[in-house]
Each structure stands twice: as structure tokens, then as C-alpha cells.
Amino acid sequence: GVEEPEQGIMKQPPRSKTNRVMDISMLIRLLAVGLTMALLALVAYVFTLYRGGWHYGQFLAGNNPLYFQATATVYLTLVFCQVANVFSIRTGKFRLRNLLTNRWLIFGEIISFAMLFTIFYWPPFQNIFKVLPPRPGAWIFASTSFFVFLGLSEWLEKKLSGLKRLG
């Protein structure tokens, strides 16, 4: 209830009574979102391990600082992807000019990042969550994943709108 209405929304015809709220395009989008986030998180994890000197096949103990950094990088990437997801599903099409129009959403994202920084940089939470601060390269990768996710979301939305027209 706090999102501004889309322009022209009342000029669009209502959804048919026979259309389901959860249709095949929604299921495809959910699957694509999950797979995209999983792939980006996996790449972030492996990227962090390799940058830290790990090699495929090498044992990595659960208490290794590199493992703590890699899991933090995964969490960081997932947060950036979730932020991108929220902005991409607000109106069905991401527009940069709409980025700052919902102050409650912005407030929520600020809280999310404050929690993220607290977990990564405050030692009591580092111990609880078993993380270490991500390296600068991880921050660059995670912020890039925001734009990769938005791009894939836009592309998928175009493909699914074509599917809706056919169905």
C-alpha cells in the first residue's frame, strides 16, 4: 500500500476472471530469479576462494578465515540481488527515475545494508554469523551483480510478455 500507482494503470483492462494469479510466466520468473541468484552467489563464492589462494580439490576447513570471507561474499551478493529484485518487480519494468520514488522501500534497503555492515564489521556479529569482511573485489562483484540481475530481469520480462501474448 505505499507504492505510487503506475501511470495509466486505470486505462488498462482488468485481468480476466479465468487468469490465475500464479500463472506459468510467474513460475518461470520465480525459477529464473532463483537460478540467477544461485549462479551469481556460486560465482562469488568460488571467486573469493580462488582470490584467496584456494585451488579446486583442496580441502577447506569450516573454521578457515577464507571460508568465512567467502560465505560473507555470498551473503553480500544475495543481498545485492534481492535489492535488484525488489526494484525490478515494483512496476514490472525497472526505470532509473523510479528508483527513489518509494521512501519506505529506500528506508528498508538502508536498514538492510546497515544490518549487512553490522554483521560484517562488528566482531560480536562476525563470531555469531561466522563471517569476515569481504575484500574490495567482492564488493565490486556484488555491486556488479545488482546490474547483471537487473539486465537479466529486463530481458526475461520481455520474453515473458511475449509468452503472455501468445497464451
pLDDT digits (tens, 9 = 90+) for 5-15: 667 778 888 87
Query: Please, what sign has the CA dihedral across residues 106, 78, 74, 36?
Result: negative
With cell 526494484, the residue in question is 87
- Mark the ranges of the chain whose per-residue pLDDT is less than 70: 1-6, 91-99, 163-167
Q: Provide the pLDDT for residue 102.
A: 79
Q: Provide the pLDDT for residue 15.
A: 75
Q: Provide the pLDDT for residue 1.
A: 57
Q: Provide the pLDDT for residue 166.
A: 53
Q: Provide the pLDDT for residue 40.
A: 96
Q: Provide the pLDDT for residue 2.
A: 64
Half-sphere exposure in the Cβ direction for 87 (13 Å, CA): 24
Task: Report d(CA 98, CA 87) in Å as an integer.
Answer: 9
Q: Provide the pLDDT for residue 94.
A: 56
- Residue 116 burial (CB count, 10 A): 17
Whole-model pTM: value is 0.83
Q: Provide the pLDDT for residue 152.
A: 87
Q: Provide the pLDDT for residue 12.
A: 80
Q: Provide the pLDDT for residue 167.
A: 52
Backbone angles phi, psi at 44, to 5 degrees: -60, -40
All three cell numbers of 147: 546490474
